[in-house]
Amino acid sequence: MGSYNYYKMFGCFNRKFKISESEPPPDVREAFWRYTAGRQQMTAEQLLKFMVQHQEDYNCTAVGVEDIMQHVFHRRHHHQQDTKNHNFTLEDFFYFLFQDDLNGPINPQVHHDMTAPLHHYFIYTGHNSYLTGNQLSSDCSETPIVSALENGVRGIELDLWPNSTKDNVHVLHGRTLTTPVTLVKCFKSIKEHAFVKSPYPVIITLEDHLTPKLQARVAEMAMRIFGDSLYCPESGYVEDFPAVESLKHKIILSTKPPKEYLGSNHSKEGATSSPKYKDYSDDETEVESEADDKQGSDSDSEDYDNCGRRSGNVAAPEYKRLIAIHAGNAKKKCLRQVLRVRIERARRLSLSEQKLERATSLYASDVVRFTQKHLLRVYPKGTRVTSSNFCPIIAWMHGAQMVAFNMQGYGKALWMMHGFFRANGGCGYLKKPHLLMSKNSNGDVFDPKLPWPVRVTLKVIVYMGDGWRLDFSHTHFDTYSPPDFYTKIHIIGAPLDATESKTRVIEDDWAPYWDQEFTFPLRVPEIALLRIEVREYDRSDKDDFGGQTCIPVSELRPGIRAVPLYDKKGRKFKSVRLLMRFRFE
């Protein structure tokens, strides 16, 4: 009897975990019958008609459709077939729709206009790119730099400090317990991996804590390692930002131009008085003399002299010549003046997340106007010692091109960053929407706080999901039964657009079928993100994570699409995906 109960129990267990094949949703069946005129097979010509009319893929061609069919036949039947003699069955058609590489939610190619100036783009930017972990005690290494570049990051930040003997340059997070890595290792890694993922320019922002002698060493090192890849304008700095397309395979250095060392007598390395390094946490820290410090200057570079005294620019001339994009940061009491200063030549300004919040709260129009001519970089506040990140939407809504993120951790903010920059072929540059680069007839710029009317409505149908049975163990979610999945959908964007919804819970099913529609009226769709997260309902504990993705609404392709999901660290699952439909009205 005991033996009978044992086998009965595990027999039930096995039945519960029996996997059944997913079936096409009614909308998929209806589309198939409509485009085949009720026949059992779909020809290449009929598939092309479906792609153009239903999926609104107006660039799809007969050659493209034949390629799709070849891929499907090869994957499903494990051999090549001549598409001229074979058609899609309903099962082939459903299989195709569920392949994210053949039918994904966004265009996988670079498709934005890349001929506009650099400041017309959002740029995939890292913060303290050399750190492997937290901001206080983790190792510094070239490895996270390589990883970032291979994932499409185009902005790399390096903090430069003298080594213990003052004769070489280390990269580390200053005044912490982080262990250093040599600058030469970082430069060589950038040289080798800069254009593996994307041909578009890599901007290296330097936080410079060096003496003129070591600045000269950095210049020699950069010229030797990067060679012709180093972008050096004839004037010594960019007067106007060049077109991104013209900067392909170029390395661009950006930091504050070196200041002269004040004092009546100058040694070989600068002023008689030893330089004092004033720490501004995670920003481009300027090197100041004791005399500068006593004056309490709020100036951050020679061009912000309306905020304090004029600073010099003589130190290591060969180093200064390599700084293509001059940069500065802003002190609290002159923030508005810095944003309003009328500088003819292009430059970059850095603000902490707190300063950005203050600036956008008090001077939103000034921030947007600044970004219509210059680069704005926003970095995490210094208290984020665990390498967490802030919500980037507020920065993007006000035109900030370089939202600098800690890439070594994970969390919802980083998921948003990953998703945002999967757009435009993952090349690391996204063309800013026209509304952020234009002015109305009164000369006013975009203000996200205004009560904008609804300009478009996004309708989303979540049909079903699949793939967990392949990417997770059968006991990952529940020990004795299949998982109970539901999907959460968020709109992240302008304040009035932000909302969230979720599907019902589907119990005991590895391939949940929801078939639920959601409607999202949008006022500023150009900046909105669609964040999707699948969770497994747990009655007694916190719901389990089942995958996530973020997609820019402006990049969504209409029609029935396969949406791949990613793990908590942003790595794409091999098999987990959702079948969804997107429609704009």
| Structure confidence at residue 307 as a pLDDT band (50, 70, 90) | very low
Residue 6 above 70 pLDDT? Answer: no
Catalytic residue status for 86:
no
**How far, in Å, CA of 282 to CA of 377, rounded?**
12
Alpha helices (H) in 388-450, listed in sequence order: 393-397, 412-420, 434-437
| Structure confidence at residue 539 as a pLDDT band (50, 70, 90) | confident
- The arithmetic mean of pLDDT across residues 364-380, rounded, is 96
215 HSE (CA, 13 A, CB side): 27
At 409 the pLDDT is 82
- The arithmetic mean of pLDDT across residues 409-415, rounded, is 93
- The arithmetic mean of pLDDT across residues 341-356, rounded, is 88
Q: Could you report the per-residue pLDDT of 240-270, keeping only the tens digit for each?
A: 999 999 999 999 999 998 865 433 343 343 3
Q: Would you tell me how many other CB atoms lie within 10 Å of the CB of residue 507? A: 13
SS (H, E, C) 112-149: CCCCCEHHHEEECEECCCCECCCCCCCEECCHHHHHHH
Instruction: Give which of 160, 149, 161 is closest to 125, Cα–Cα.
Output: 149
Q: Which two tokens stand for residue 359?
A: 């600036």
Residue 540 above 60 pLDDT? Answer: yes
At 276 the pLDDT is 39
| Structure confidence at residue 92 as a pLDDT band (50, 70, 90) | very high
Task: Provide the 8-state DSSP code for 220.
Answer: H
**Catalytic residue, candidates 112, 119, 120, 127:** 127
Residue 497 above 90 pLDDT? Answer: yes
Residue 7 above 50 pLDDT? Answer: no
At 269 the pLDDT is 39
**Catalytic residue, candidates 112, 170, 173, 418:** 173
Instruction: Give which of 371, 375, 409 is closest to 128, Cα–Cα.
Output: 409
Sheet holding 544-552, edge to edge: 499-502, 485-492, 529-536, 544-552, 559-566, 572-584, 456-466, 513-522
Task: Provide the 8-state DSSP code for 453.
Answer: P
Residue 392 above 80 pLDDT? Answer: yes
| Structure confidence at residue 239 as a pLDDT band (50, 70, 90) | confident
Q: Could you report the per-residue pLDDT of 269-304, keeping only the tens digit for each?
A: 333 333 333 333 344 433 332 223 322 222 333 333
- The arithmetic mean of pLDDT across residues 321-337, rounded, is 82
- Residues 348, 377 contacting (CB under 8 angstroms): yes
Residue 524 CA: distances (Å) to CA of 397, 436, 491: 9, 11, 11
Instruction: Give which of 387, 417, 422 is closest to 100, Cα–Cα.
Output: 422
**Residue 534 forms beta bridges with which residues?**
487
At 11 the pLDDT is 44
Instruction: For 435, list phi and psi in degrees, rounded to 5.
Output: -60, -25
Q: Which two tokens stand for residue 511?
A: 């391939």
At 118 the pLDDT is 98
Residue spans of beta strands (DSSP E) within 447-543: 456-466, 485-492, 499-502, 513-522, 529-536
Buried b (16+ CB within 10 A) or exposed e, 85-123: ebbbebebbbbbbbbbebbbbbbeeeebebebbbbbbbb
Instruction: Give which of 40, 46, 39, 53 is closest to 69, Cα–Cα.
Output: 46
At 336 the pLDDT is 85
Contacts of 521 (CB under 8 A, 6+ apart): 454, 457, 497
At 410 the pLDDT is 87
**How far, in Å, CA of 338 to CA of 320, rounded?**
22
Lowest mean pLDDT among 33-47, 125-139, 301-315, 479-493: 301-315
Catalytic residue status for 326:
no
CA torsion 321→326→329→333, rounded to 10°?
110
The position carrying tokens 């570049």 is 149
The domains of the chain, with CATH numbers, are: 17-97 (1.10.238), 118-436 (3.20.20.190), 456-584 (2.60.40.150)
Q: Could you report the per-residue pLDDT of 95-130, keeping only the tens digit for each?
A: 999 999 999 999 999 999 999 999 999 999 999 999
Instruction: Give which of 240, 241, 275 is closest to 259, Cα–Cα.
Output: 275
Q: Could you report the per-residue pLDDT of 428-461, keeping only the tens digit for each?
A: 999 999 999 999 999 999 998 888 999 999 999 9
Q: Could you report the per-residue pLDDT of 458-475, keeping only the tens digit for each?
A: 999 999 999 999 999 999
- Averaged pLDDT of the chain: 87
Q: Would you tell me how many other CB atoms lie within 10 Å of the CB of residue 241? A: 22
Q: Could you report the per-residue pLDDT of 194-232, keeping only the tens digit for each?
A: 999 999 999 999 999 999 999 999 999 999 999 999 999
